[in-house]
Amino acid sequence: MRSSGRNMQQKLRSCDDVPSSLDWRTKGVVTGVKDQGSCGSCWAFSSTGAMEGINAIVTGDLISLSEQELMDCDTTNYGCEGGYMDYAFEWVISNGGIDTESDYSYTGVDGTCNSTKEETKVVTIDGYEDVAESDSALLCATVQQPISVGMDGSALDFQLYTSGIYDGDCSSDPDDIDHAVLIVGYGSEDGEDYWIVKNSWGTDWGMEGYIYIRRNTNLTYGVCAINAMASYPTKESSSPSPYPSPTPPPPPVTPPPPPPPPPSPTPSECGDFSYCPSDETCCCIFEFYGFCLIYGCCPYENAVCCSGTEFCCPSDYPLCDIEEGLCLKNYGDYLGVAASRRKMAKHKFPWSKLEQKENEYQPLQWKRNRFAALR
């Protein structure tokens, strides 16, 4: 295993009333001890051990996972040259799962990624968390599941360990971490607390592949720096079936296109040869022997044309008081809106148009300021 700085925010899990001892092996969530051989793939075994544990806790199925797939396919790590458990968790998340040990077997040498087996995603995880660097934080995490940890595994008395609670010659400096293992529980013996640690050196090493490492010491990072690089995968739901998914239902019928927009409103007809916009009213400006020769447009719909004048009023103020320049709602009212001048209607054909002078129609001027106009 290569030493590495932490790449995620560390999380201290709170826990109350933890049991005095815990052994995840007795709960059926730890696979048998494996052997990495002469390949520096401890990181892969620690990673699969943690994923095997959380998957068994969530689903009830203990499935041995493929270290070889991590070595061959996870290009963020270095195969037999070492690696990081967090990177392995990230790769499994991005790949969408990991294959089984039985399908993608361990060879102990670096190989080419089997893309077909890489697509067999039997177990998934949702994420991972790093554990704060203390005995108490590591205990709180271990109460929940088996935990991947880094440690210094270079000491001779560690490599030759056979039994007892180890507190030997290993370094407790995080910079000396060079090995990865799996914490699967904890306990106490004759007043000494220890971690139950699963190694990946086969069952002939230690206590059938396990070691007890002393915990609750005064060392900042614990014996062999075991507190300094702990992490665990997270999982909340069952893994997908390795078998093909059923054929999905056909897509829903495409909804019909929206109806076309309504046609633009047609202009208001003013006799045979003139028109006004659709939201205005035609009013006769000049009449000769009952025939209107010139039309104007009042800027209201359904307006009232003030007879004999160039003014008009809106339909809700239909009474023309031209002397005062007002449109009133009722006879006798003193308050109204300003009467509007009509503007020239447009011709239907491009004959000689009646041109309006720029200043011909000006806003009405109030003859009295007794009441303000309604706006």
Query: pLDDT by residue (tens digit) across 132-176?
Result: 999 999 999 999 999 999 999 999 999 999 999 999 999 999 999
Instruction: Give per-residue pLDDT as tens, 246-258.
Output: 566 777 777 777 7
Average pLDDT, the chain: 85
pTM attached to this predicted model: 0.63
Residue 154: predicted pLDDT: 95
Residue 244: predicted pLDDT: 53
Residue 286: predicted pLDDT: 78
Residue 8: predicted pLDDT: 37
Structure tokens at 212: 């007890």
Pairwise CA distance, residues 346 & 341, whole Å: 16
Residue 171: predicted pLDDT: 96
Pairwise CA distance, residues 291 & 321, whole Å: 26
Any residues with CB less than 8 A from the CB of 68 and at least 6 apart, and which?
A: 44, 104, 105, 106, 107, 111
Residues of the chain with pLDDT under 70: 1-14, 238-248, 262-266, 345, 347-375
Catalytic residues: 42, 179, 199
Task: Return the C-alpha torsion angle 201, 202, 206, 209, nearest 10.
Answer: 110
Structure tokens at 42: 């401890």
Residue 26: predicted pLDDT: 98
Residue 369: predicted pLDDT: 36
Pairwise CA distance, residues 183 & 171, whole Å: 18
For the chain, the residue count is 375
CA triplet 105, 111, 112: central angle to 5 degrees? 105
Contact call for residues 97 and 130 (beta carbons, < 8 A): no
Domains of the chain, first to last = 10-234 (3.90.70.10), 268-347 (no CATH)
Residue 239: predicted pLDDT: 59
